[in-house]
A and B are shown apart, each in its own frame.
Chain A
Amino acid sequence: MNRNSMAVLSKLAKRNPAEELPVYRLAVVGDCSTQHLSQAIRGTGIIHDVNIEIFDADYDQISAQIDDSSSELYSFAPDGVFIMMCTEKLYSRYLSTRADERVNFAQNEYGLISRRWNTLAGKTKSVIIQSLFCEYDDRVFGSFACRLPGSFIYQLRRLNMLISEGAAAGNNVYPVDFSFLASEMGYMTVKSPIVYGMAKLPFSTEYIPQAAEAVVNIILALKGKSVKCIILDLDDTLWGGTVSEDGMEGIQIGELGTGYAFSAIQTYMKELKNRGILLAVCSKNYEDKAKEPFLKHPDMILRLEDFALFVANWKPKAENIRYIQSNLNIGMDSLVFIDNSPFERAAVRAAIPEITVPEMPEDPAEYVNFLRRENLFEAVSYTPEDAGRTLLYRAEAGRRQAEKDSSTYEDFLRSLDMHAECDSFSSFWYPRIAQLSQRSNQFNLRTVRYTEADIERIARDSAYITRYFVLHDSFGDSGLISAFIMHPCDEESLFVESWFMSCRVLKRTMEEFIVNAMISAARRAGYKKVIGEYIPTSKNAMVSNIYSKLGFTDLGNGRFEADVASFVKNETFIGWY
């Protein structure tokens, strides 16, 4: 039986998940039967260690659930609402549209869809996961339909585009691209006229697990589970052949013959790097031999500066991966390890169960298509800053060298000449603040994840006191590295609803600087107390005691209090920018 067949997933869905699993509350509404899809989403969540609690609305109740403030959907208090609309229903609405009205079909459909989004946004803070339509055409006109604005496929494609544009303009809508997935897999695989006819299922039973996975990938990214670094082998992974034996001239790379497959994977990796995913090398090799192609080979697409870290030696790979992970200071479960050798993959998997190790195909020609289909790199945000992330980590390596060269740690901190920029949230920073809340797992006191729309709402609400922090030093700009959000809990006290920080700037006395800023913000607004809270997760133990270390009094139960008047400023090596 298929490992992740519908039956397996529905069985998993019925199981009671471990209590410590993070919970995501998902409301599912559709114009088709969504029970199987819901079960598969829940089952897939359990495989990925998220307890997705589901409210699955009755058949064809999208508007009824969304328009009525007292509906089950709203009383369920969802974190996300998944709106599943199927092509079959769209087609039948198209058929009942008058011929002369069909040119406006997509626009009218989009009007309805965007009204639902607005209604939801007015009543809840939940994100919206909106299905795109699988491409279908009745071939009444053949390919001529592509130049006929009133044809179904013309209108369907326009509608998908309108949904994408609407999602790009707003901040709380995440389309799930069933259109792309259906063209990748084929409409005949994805759909089954029999199960649609009999049970109104939007997908064939064999495809439902993949459709569910597409939805779960978005939820995982929203929960902060995303890939941050790809660790790459070299020989027969990034080029063909063995550089230490064949020499730099002998490796396969470039336009010709088998080299093309390796150029393709290098190009793919470069794109991922440019979108903010770090690359690192982990190769059993002589370091100079391994670096030579990156420096001298004219056909190489990746260059040394594309890598945050380059590790080539003869130690076991698991050991090198642990070194890379601690050096970059990111979670092991945010790493992907890519190696052509089944032996190395198995060894790494056995030694480090948290890491993702794709079972690469034997033929390098299939590498890129295989990795594309794994969809390992789902994102829920993108900022131009992402492209420069490798530079940030390389500057970090420079700082570590400076630390080694300094006689004391204090000397090192002084030599960095650090200045922080600190202000309340402004629109330029909304995307980056939201993204940091989603990506920070270790230094995150309450692990509340915010979307851009949440951040905008908070920034505009005068009840909140917010600050973001950008750190500059002699090695450059670390970008936005921390933020906190406070709101009053009574007339005298402020509650720190969120405080998260990038681990890149740990132990630079940034924490001290931020807590000082918290207290002075509270003082300026006339509050007497600041209450902090620590909510433990499996990842954030490092900050369990941070408030007491920085001058708060431990009240027990993870709560801490600082008295504004008597607070003694923490010593910091960071000046105001």
Chain B
Amino acid sequence: MLQEKEIIDRLNEIFAFVFDDDSIKITRATTSNDVDGWDSLTHVTLIGEIEEAFGFKFMMKEIVGMKNVGEMIDIIAQRAKK
């Protein structure tokens, strides 16, 4: 299983890329309200990038149910293949 630190570093890179903001610093508590441009449109792009980077597919209930980045990290920790 991937270490939380590694996941959050890699996720941060993806967030910075997708939201075009190099200064972005995500934490477990980050939600879509905290990130400029995180709307339903960019959410789909973000999920696609995470799936590609970590080599797995989110399930529908996960995509709908994630409340914050912390829950995203927990799913990645369980399911990531790379």
Contacts and interface: CB of A to CB of B under 8 A. Distances in A.
B62 to A, nearest CB: 10
A205 B20 contact: no
A365 B59 CA distance: 38
Nearest to B58: A194
A1 B60 CA distance: 23
A199 B44 contact: yes
Contact of B45 (A6, A14, A194, A198): A6
Interface in B28-53: 40-42, 44-49, 51-53
Contact of A206 (B42, B52, B64): B52
Contact of B48 (A6, A14, A35, A197): A6
A199 B57 CA distance: 16
Interface in A164-203: 194-195, 197-199, 201
Interface range for A: 10 to 19
A36 B57 CA distance: 19
B63 interface: yes
B52 A1 contact: yes
> Which of A6, A11, A35 has its CB near the most chain B CB atoms (within 10 A)?
A6
B61 to A, nearest CB: 10
Contact of A36 (B18, B44, B60): B44
A206 B48 contact: yes
B49 A14 contact: no
A2 interface: yes
B63 A14 contact: no
A205 B17 contact: no
A10 interface: yes
Interface range for B: 20 to 34
Given A194-B63, A197-B60, A198-B60, A2 B44 contact: no
Contacts of B58: 194
Contact of A7 (B17, B57, B63): B17
A14 B20 contact: yes
Nearest to B48: A205
A325 interface: no
A6 B41 CA distance: 11
A2 B60 contact: no
A195 B18 CA distance: 17
A5 interface: yes
> Which of B18, B41, B45, B46 has its CB near the most chain A CB atoms (within 10 A)?
B45
A1 B53 contact: yes
Contacts of A198: 44, 60, 63-64
B18 A205 contact: no
The SS class assigned to the A binding surface is helix
Contacts of A197: 60
Given A198-B60, A198-B63, A1 B49 contact: yes
A201 B41 CA distance: 10
Contact of A10 (B14, B40, B45, B51): B45
B3 to A, nearest CB: 21
A36 B41 contact: yes
A36 B20 contact: no
B53 to A, nearest CB: 7
Nearest to B40: A199
A13 B41 CA distance: 14
Nearest to A193: B60
A140 B64 CA distance: 30
Contacts of B59: 194
B20 A5 contact: no
A5 B49 contact: yes
A11 B45 CA distance: 11
B26 to A, nearest CB: 16
A400 B57 CA distance: 62
A11 B20 contact: yes
Interface string B57-80: 111100110000000000000000
A67 to B, nearest CB: 27
Nearest to B43: A199
Contact of A5 (B40, B47, B48, B57): B48
Nearest to B47: A205
A35 B18 contact: no
Contacts of A14: 20
Contacts of B46: 7
A525 B51 CA distance: 67
Contacts of B48: 5-7, 195, 204-206
A195 B51 CA distance: 13
Contacts of A199: 40-41, 44
Nearest to B52: A2
Contacts of B51: 205-206
A198 B48 CA distance: 13
Interface in A1-59: 1-2, 5-7, 10-11, 14, 35-36
A11 B22 CA distance: 13
A319 B48 CA distance: 44
B52 A35 contact: no
Interface of B: 14, 17-18, 20, 40-42, 44-49, 51-53, 57-60, 63-64
26 contacts: A1-B14, A1-B17, A1-B49, A2-B52, A5-B48, A6-B48, A7-B14, A7-B17, A7-B18, A7-B45, A7-B46, A7-B48, A14-B20, A35-B41, A194-B58, A194-B60, A194-B63, A198-B60, A199-B40, A199-B41, A205-B44, A205-B45, A205-B48, A205-B51, A206-B48, A206-B52
Q: Which 9 A-B pairs have the closest CB atoms?
A: A205-B48, A7-B18, A6-B45, A194-B60, A7-B49, A199-B44, A7-B45, A35-B41, A6-B48
Given A11-B17, A35-B41, 8 more contacts: A6-B48, A7-B48, A36-B41, A195-B48, A198-B60, A198-B64, A201-B44, A206-B48
